[in-house]
């Protein structure tokens, strides 16, 4: 168990976010890698699952991880974009990533359907 430092004045979720941030930036968790489940992280660090949830929210807001409903959380493959870089029309590039991710999932579904049609033909 890694545990957290009881002498650290920061809240446990911040300590956990920092530990996971270090794993990501060091390459221990590579881009695209799936993070352990909330339950597994809660056990590893000796915290409640809600503490893990708060820590993951911090990492998402920093653009270090992405979460997919029913699939888990993953280290972001695309680098986080500084908030002042825009994609036009005042939107930041960070605002565009969720749209691109959704489009990619739809494209993958269409490709699976096409393969199924080809294989069934």
- pLDDT of 2 reads 67
Dihedrals φ, ψ of 74, to 5°? -135, 150
Q: What proportion of the chain, given as a percentage, has pLDDT over 70? A: 81
- Report whether 12 contacts 47 (CB < 8 A): yes
pLDDT at 1 over 60: no
pLDDT in tens, 55-76: 999 999 999 999 988 899 999 9
Length of the chain in terms of residues written: 121
Q: Which tens digit of pLDDT belongs to each residue from 68-110?
A: 888 999 999 875 555 555 555 566 666 677 777 778 788 888 8
Give the C-alpha separation, 110 to 91, whole Å: 28
Reported as type and span, the H/E element at residue 103 is helix 93-120
Report pLDDT for 101. 74
More confident residue, 48 or 91: 48
Judge residue 56's burial from the number of C-beta atoms within 10 Å of its C-beta, 0-12 exposed, 13-18 middle, 19 or more buried.
buried
Region class of 3: left (phi > 0), else alpha (psi between -120 and 50), else beta? left
Q: Tell me, what DSSP letter sits at residue 8?
A: -
**What integer pLDDT is reported at residue 49 of this predicted model?**
95
At 81 the pLDDT is 52
Strand boundaries in 6-107, DSSP class E: 65-68, 72-75
- 8-31 pLDDT tens trace: 899 999 999 999 999 998 889 999
């Amino acid at each position: 168990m890694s545990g957290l430092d009881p002498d650290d004045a920061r809240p446990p979720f911040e300590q956990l976010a920092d530990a996971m941030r270090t794993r990501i930036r060091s390459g221990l968790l590579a881009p695209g890698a799936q993070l352990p489940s909330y339950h597994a992280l809660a056990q590893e660090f000796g915290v409640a699952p809600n503490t893990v949830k708060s820590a993951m929210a911090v990492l998402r807001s920093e653009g270090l991880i992405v979460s997919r409903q029913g699939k888990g959380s993953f280290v972001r493959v695309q680098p986080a974009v500084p908030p002042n870089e825009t994609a036009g029309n005042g939107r930041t590039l960070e605002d565009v990533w969720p749209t691109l991710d959704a489009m990619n999932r739809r494209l993958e579904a269409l490709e699976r359907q096409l393969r199924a049609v080809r294989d069934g033909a």
